[in-house]
Amino acid sequence: MTSLHDHCTSQARRQRVLALTPRETLETHWAALGIRAPHRCVRGPETGMAMLRGRMGGTGSAFHLGEMTLTRASVALDDGTPGGGALGHGWVRGRDRRHAELIALVDACARHAAWARRIDLDLIAPLQKALEARHAEASHEAAATRVDFFTLVRGE
Amino acid sequence: MYVAVKGGERAIANAHRLLADRRRGARDQAELEVGQIEEQLRLAVDRVMSEASLYDPELAALAIKQASGDIIEAVFLLRAYRTTLPRLAVSEPLDTGAMRIERRISAAYKDIPGGQILGPTYDYTHRLLDFMLLAEGEAPPPERAERALEACPPLLELLDAEGLIERETDNGCEPADITRDPPDYPVDRATRLQMLARGDEGYLLALGYSTQRGYGRNHPFAGEIRLGHVEVEIFVEEWGEAVCVGEIALSECQMINQFGGSRDAAPQFTRGYGLAFGHSERKAMAMALVDRALRAEELGEEVQGPAQQAEFVLAHADSVEASGFVSHLKLPHYVDFQSELELLRRLRREHDRRECDMGPDAQPEDSL
């Protein structure tokens, strides 16, 4: 059970980091990793929409806010190669089909135990670090607009 | 009634060619790129996404370019594109509490955990034209604080230990979806919020304003306004879990309004809620005002103002529907108008005949 849970968690973590990474960056890092995995798309890449739900007051019952474009892909690694036949899935906001395919490809390759470690250490970890750095930069910029209140003392 | 009219194909083709020329404008000016619109006219892009009810900044920018900056036309274009796409997923409810904050203020509480974060705002500008923007010159990079933001938890329930403010809890109901089932009045709050979220900003602003001027007064305070990015999660069947597929920018407004209460429930502040794509603060505020106004019946208030009449408000909020129906008046109504002319001529002939019969001094019967 624990191993399944761990697997799911790392899968979700990869999917998140890769979806939040610009495609060009992902493409470069993936190429640098040097994993050659011939594959074919078994579903998509296809672009559609996700209906987004909000909550009344932020915490209450759900309502439909509106839709966003979403692209998904599923790939299978070619038989007779390392990890042959493994399936992978990828989802990404927007209409970038190559981005979805790359996420699916990474997911498929990560089913191959020897590759999973490299993917997590040499691809996901640095991309996650870069993502956190971008978020931190935005946070520092917003923090510069924080109001410092001071009270004017009136009277004698 | 309008009838199909043939002819005019050549005129139409040439009109569209002329439109393309006028859209391009003087050729000694560089052509506007979609990427420039996406980056530099961001608030227009956000408005188009909100009202088209489709989050895709690049396509919204393209729509703005194609529409020569006519925002309502751009909304129409993006809404029409939406119909060509299949629905692949329904998201988990967005967690605005986990928003990466770019702006967060409260006009109700001064000292708040995380502080008042102004972010990129037009507030406090003097609304004087900035002639520097006519000249070339780079904007300086933003100031950078030494420390990052502290956590900015949602305020309303956090700061209300006494229970003076109405709580919002999940009743677990599957929300209605107007894109699948057309609204059947009266409609529930989930349906109202979906319709308001795509409603025209100017229209909602006017209605929200009307409540402040006394047409369904409800004494609002901006309890919390937050802008920033929220991650979108969808449940993936193959994995049996929800995963993040990207993030979107959102504007949220929590309005605190004057009291509701009954024999069973002690008086409490009530709430209105606004949520919109992108940096759409005015829209989120207007939506929150109108959401609260439309809760009049639920809260046992007398319906006094237009903003409290759900069917009136909601049936006219969508600019695509409104401009479609107004614009159809431009379609040929030649036969229709011809028949009205005939009718009018007959009425006038009968009128003249009556006048002759009765003589010049006689009073027509029905004027008594």
pLDDT at A8: 47
Judge whether A150 is closer than 8 Å to chain B, CB to CB: no
Could you tell me the residue ranges of all domains in chain B?
9-82, 96-120+144-166+173-318, 333-367
Q: Quick check: A79 pLDDT over 80?
A: no
DSSP per residue over B99-145, as a string?
-EEEEEE-SS-SS-TT--B--S-STT------GGGGS--PPPPPP--
- The length of chain B, given as a count of residues: 368
Average pLDDT (A140-156) is 82
Q: Report the alpha-carbon distance of residue B216 to residue A107 in Å, rounded.
A: 55
Average pLDDT (A78-98) is 88
Residue with structure tokens 């010049």? B360
Q: Please report residues of A whose CB lies closer than 8 A to that of B168.
A: 55-61
Q: Is B90 helix (H, G, I), strand (E, B) or coil?
A: strand
List beta partners, residue B272: B255
Q: Report the alpha-carbon distance of residue B246 to residue B244 in Å, rounded.
A: 6
Nearest Cα residue in chain B from A94: B56
What are the backbone angles phi and psi of residue A66, rounded to the nearest 5°? 160, 180
- Chain A segment 10-29 residues within 8 A of B by beta carbon are 11-12, 15-16, 19-20
Q: Which of B97, B249, B242, B264 is nearest to B168 (CA)?
A: B97
Q: Report the alpha-carbon distance of residue B338 to residue B332 in Å, rounded.
A: 11
Q: Do B87 and A50 touch (CB under 8 A)?
A: yes
Average pLDDT (B273-296) is 97
Q: Is B286 helix (H, G, I), strand (E, B) or coil?
A: helix
Average pLDDT (B247-272) is 88
pLDDT at A151: 64
Q: Quick check: A4 pLDDT over 50?
A: no
Nearest Cα residue in chain A from B92: A53
Q: Quick check: B265 pLDDT over 90?
A: no
Q: Report the alpha-carbon distance of residue B282 to residue B279 in Å, rounded.
A: 9
What whole-number percentage of chain A has pLDDT above 70? 90
- For residues A55 and A2, the model is more confident at A55
Nearest Cα residue in chain B from A57: B273
What whole-number percentage of chain A has pLDDT above 90? 78
Q: Please report residues of A whose CB lies closer than 8 A to that of B62.
A: none
Q: Report the alpha-carbon distance of residue A86 to residue B129 in Å, rounded.
A: 60
**Are B101 and B116 contacting, i.e. CB atoms less than 8 angstroms apart?**
no
- The CA distance from A81 to the nearest CA of chain B, in Å, is 23
Average pLDDT (A70-99) is 91
Judge whether A81 is closer than 8 Å to chain B, CB to CB: no
Q: Quick check: B49 pLDDT over 60?
A: yes
Judge whether A65 is closer than 8 Å to chain B, CB to CB: yes
**Are B168 and B292 contacting, i.e. CB atoms less than 8 angstroms apart?**
no
What whole-number percentage of chain B has pLDDT above 90? 79
pLDDT (tens digit per residue) in B87-136: 999 999 999 999 999 999 999 999 999 999 999 999 999 999 988 888 87
pLDDT at A23: 97
Q: Do A61 and B234 touch (CB under 8 A)?
A: no
Task: Output DSSP code: residue A9.
Answer: H
Judge whether A149 is closer than 8 Å to chain B, CB to CB: yes
pLDDT (tens digit per residue) in B310-354: 999 999 999 999 999 999 999 888 889 999 999 999 999 999 999
Could you tell me the residue ranges of all domains in chain A?
2-143
Q: Quick check: B182 pLDDT over 60?
A: yes
Nearest Cα residue in chain A from B110: A149
Q: Report the alpha-carbon distance of residue B13 to residue B333 in Å, rounded.
A: 22
pLDDT at B8: 86
pLDDT at A74: 96
Q: Residue A5 — very low, low, confident or very high, per pLDDT cuts 50/70/90?
A: very low
- Best probe of the B interface among A10, A17, A52, by most B CBs < 10 A, is A52
Q: Is B67 helix (H, G, I), strand (E, B) or coil?
A: coil
pLDDT at A6: 44
| b/e sequence B33-69, b meaning 16+ C-beta within 10 Å | ebeebbeebbebbbbbbbbbbbbbbbbbbbbbbbbee
Q: Which of A128, A72, A123 is nearest to A100 (CA)?
A: A72
List beta partners, residue B89: A50
Q: Do B94 and A70 touch (CB under 8 A)?
A: no
Q: Quick check: B364 pLDDT over 60?
A: no
Q: Report the alpha-carbon distance of residue B117 to residue B227 in Å, rounded.
A: 10
- Residue B37: C-alpha distances to residues A44, B31, B62, B67, B73 (Å): 30, 11, 8, 12, 16
**Are B221 and B256 contacting, i.e. CB atoms less than 8 angstroms apart?**
yes
Q: Which of A53, A142, A118 is nearest to B100 (CA)?
A: A142
Mean pLDDT over the full length of chain B? 92
- Beta strands A62-77; B54-55: pairing state: parallel
Q: Do B168 and A56 touch (CB under 8 A)?
A: yes
Say which of A92, A141, A147 has its CB closest to residue B246: A92
Q: Report the alpha-carbon distance of residue A60 to residue A56 in Å, rounded.
A: 5
Q: Which of A97, A96, A99, A121 is nearest to A10 (CA)?
A: A121
Rg of chain A taking only CA atoms, in angstroms = 21
What is the sign of the dihedral through the CA atoms of A62, B87, B287 and A20?
A: positive
Q: Do B175 and A94 touch (CB under 8 A)?
A: no
pLDDT at B258: 85
Q: Which of B226, B346, B367 is nearest to B284 (CA)?
A: B226
**Are B285 and B212 contacting, i.e. CB atoms less than 8 angstroms apart?**
no
Longest dimension (CA), chain A: 89
Q: Report the alpha-carbon distance of residue B357 to residue A125 in Å, rounded.
A: 99
Q: Please report residues of A whose CB lies closer than 8 A to that of B147.
A: 140, 143
What are the backbone angles phi and psi of residue B230, rounded to the nearest 5°? -130, 135
pLDDT at B211: 95
Nearest Cα residue in chain B from A70: B88
Peptide bond into B113 cis (omega under 30): no
Q: Do A143 and B149 touch (CB under 8 A)?
A: yes
Neighbouring C-beta atoms of residue B177, cutoff 10 Å: 16
Amino acid (1-letter code) at residue B100: R
Q: Do A67 and B54 touch (CB under 8 A)?
A: yes
- Beta strands B87-93; A87-93: pairing state: unpaired
What whole-number percentage of chain B has pLDDT above 70? 95
Task: Output DSSP code: residue B84.
Answer: T
- Residue B159 CB-half CA count within 13 A: 16
pLDDT (tens digit per residue) in A100-144: 999 999 999 999 888 999 999 999 999 999 999 999 999 999 999
Size of interface A-B (CB pairs under 8 A): 242
Task: Output DSSP code: residue B165.
Answer: B
- Best probe of the B interface among A56, A74, A106, A107, by most B CBs < 10 A, is A56
Q: Which of B168, B167, B211, B173 is nearest to B190 (CA)?
A: B173
- Beta strands A39-55; B87-93: pairing state: parallel
Q: Do A57 and B156 touch (CB under 8 A)?
A: yes
Q: Quick check: B5 pLDDT over 70?
A: no
Q: Report the alpha-carbon distance of residue B265 to residue B267 in Å, rounded.
A: 6
Judge whether A51 is closer than 8 Å to chain B, CB to CB: yes
Nearest Cα residue in chain B from A22: B246
Longest dimension (CA), chain B: 95
pTM, two decimal places: 0.92
Q: Do A60 and B101 touch (CB under 8 A)?
A: no
pLDDT (tens digit per residue) in B212-256: 999 987 789 999 999 999 999 999 988 899 999 999 999 999 999
Percent helix, strand, coil in chain A, to 5, is 50, 25, 25
Of A82-96, B61-75, B188-202, minimum mean pLDDT range: A82-96
